[in-house]
A and B are shown apart, each in its own frame.
Chain A
Amino acid sequence: MSEPVTETLSVVVEREIPFPPEKIWRALTQPHLIQEWLMKNDFQPVVGHQFKLRTDPQPNWNGIIDCEVLTVEPNRKLSYTWVSGEAALAIKSVVTLSLTPTSTGTFLRMEQTGFRPDQPQNYQGAKYGWQHFFATLEQVVARAD
C-alpha cells in the first residue's frame, strides 16, 4: 500500500561562525543587511508581521516568497513562514534560525520544514504548485528540443 501522506520534509544547515550572536542577529533582522545576504525584503522583527522576500523573476516564478514572522527571541531564535510559488515548490514551509553562543563565536542553525504537496491541508498550495510544476516541465521539454 502507499505510505501515509503526513510526511514532512526538513532541511538543516548548520555553521560555526566566528562572530558573536548579537552581530549575526543584526544581519538576520535589519532589512538593509538581510538584503545583502538573503534577498530584498520588507522584514520587521515583529511577530505576525507579513513580508516578502524578492529576487529576480525567473521563468514561471515571479521571484517572490511570502513570509510571516512567527518567533522573535533577540539574539537566540527567529522563525518565519516561507511560501513560494516556485516549482517543487508548492511547498509551504517554516524557516527557523537559531543562534547558540560558543567559545569562538556562534553556532548558527537553519531548519526549514515543509509539507509534502500531497498533504490534504496544503491542497490549495499543491494545486497552485502543480500548475507551476507542469509549466516548468513544459519549458524544460521545449528547451531540450
Chain B
Amino acid sequence: MPDTHDVLFRTLADPTRRAIFERLCREGEQTVRALTVHAGVSQPAVSKHLGVLKQAGLVRDRHEGRQTHYRAQHRALAPLLDWTSHMVGFWQSRFDHLEDLLKRMDQ
C-alpha cells in the first residue's frame, strides 16, 4: 500500500501532469491534441506526461484512427480517498466522547 501511495503522490506532484489529470477528471475523455491546447507545453511533452499517468493507472488510452484518446481512472485514487476508514475512526472516537459525556450527565 505505501508503494501505491508513493507512486500516486509522485505522479501527481508535477503541476503540469496534475493539470492534465484534473482536466480529464473534469471534461471526460480527451485527445492528446485537445489536451495540448490547454497544457502550455508541447505535444510530445503532453504525451510523456500521459505515459507516466498511464503507468500509475490514473488514465487509460484508446486508439481511434490516428488519434489517441485518454480518460481518467478515478478508481486509481481510491488508496488516497479512503473515506470509509476515515469516517469509521472518526465516529468511534466521537462515540467514546459521547459515553464519557453520558457518565457525567445528570439523570
Contacts and interface: CB of A to CB of B under 8 A. Distances in A.
B1 interface: no
Interface in A110-145: 110, 112, 114, 116-118, 127, 130, 133-134, 137-138, 140-141, 144
B9 A36 contact: no
Given A37-B101, A130-B22, A9 B84 contact: yes
Interface of A: 2-3, 9-11, 13, 15, 17, 19, 23-24, 26-27, 33, 36-38, 87-89, 91, 108, 110, 112, 114, 116-118, 127, 130, 133-134, 137-138, 140-141, 144
Nearest to B5: A140
Contact of A24 (B22, B26, B102): B102
Given A23-B107, A27-B105, A33-B105, A15 B95 contact: yes
30 contacts: A11-B84, A11-B87, A11-B88, A15-B99, A17-B102, A19-B102, A23-B102, A23-B105, A24-B98, A24-B102, A27-B101, A27-B102, A27-B105, A33-B105, A37-B95, A37-B98, A37-B101, A38-B97, A88-B81, A88-B82, A88-B86, A89-B83, A116-B74, A117-B74, A133-B81, A134-B18, A134-B22, A137-B9, A140-B9, A141-B9
B101 A13 contact: no
Interface residues of B, number: 30
Interface of B: 9, 12-13, 18, 22, 25-26, 73-75, 80-84, 86-88, 91-92, 94-95, 97-102, 105, 107
A114 B9 CA distance: 25
